[in-house]
Amino acid sequence: MKLNADFQQRVVLNSENLPWRDSPMAGVQRRMLERDGEEVARATTIVRYAPGSAFSAHTHGGGEEFMVLDGVFSDEKGDYPAGTYVRNPVGSTHTPSSADGCTILVKLHQMHPDDQDRVVIDTKNAEWHPGMVPGLEVMPLYTYKTENAALVKWAPGTQFQTHRHWGGEEIFVLEGIFADEQGIYPQGTWLRNPSGSVHTPFSTEGCIIYVKTGHLPTTHQ
């Protein structure tokens, strides 16, 4: 399957409008944002676990990165409530489940084999740092070579300068409404801006977004 697999194309999806599709495991459903491959694939997906559901033990050949959007996600290493950011490196293995149900934003097969740090951050209690303009706060999540992941909090009425993204940019709107000159993006929106793209973001109402930059290929897939 190829879904939004051309990284030179801009993509904007309101995940709330996408259908839930059954996974191979009962009680686990997915909203697919991008995918290149079949059941084992480079993928960015919203995954919903029904209460009491579980996924079989598996190894992440290309690594796994996820943010818990609601509920509590679990595996043999622990429980991860809403707001938890996790990176499981290439070659890691686990058996995920959710006793009470949860929803996660997950990215698979997108890590370099040498990137072997496991990361767990409770973003509900981690520290915010001042951003580059008034009204902006940043919570760094992870950096590897040119790749940077962070949460960014925009106070109502915050405007950022026009800038270019070398290596591309992905955004998932966690709360509120994010915007730029190309549109308005409510909670649940996923954006992918290709390498070299330019925009001037702002938020009239205020928002919190997950942002990843500097990680996208610069050639057609």
Q: Is the pLDDT of residue 220 over 70?
A: no
The architecture in CATH of the region 129-213 reads Sandwich (2.60)
Name 91's Cβ contacts closer than 8 Å, sequence gap at least 6: 59, 60, 61, 113
Is domain 2-122 given the CATH code 3.30.450.40 in the classification?
no
**To the nearest 10°, the Cα dihedral for 31, 117, 119, 209?**
-50
What is the model's pTM? 0.95
Mean pLDDT for the stretch of residues 73-102: 96
Give the per-residue pLDDT at 40.
75
Residues forming CATH 2.60.120.10 domain(s) in the chain: 2-122, 129-213
Looking at the predicted structure, is the pLDDT value of residue 219 above 70? no
Give CA–CA dist 133/161, Å, rounded.
8
Q: pLDDT tens, 13-33?
A: 999 999 999 998 899 999 999
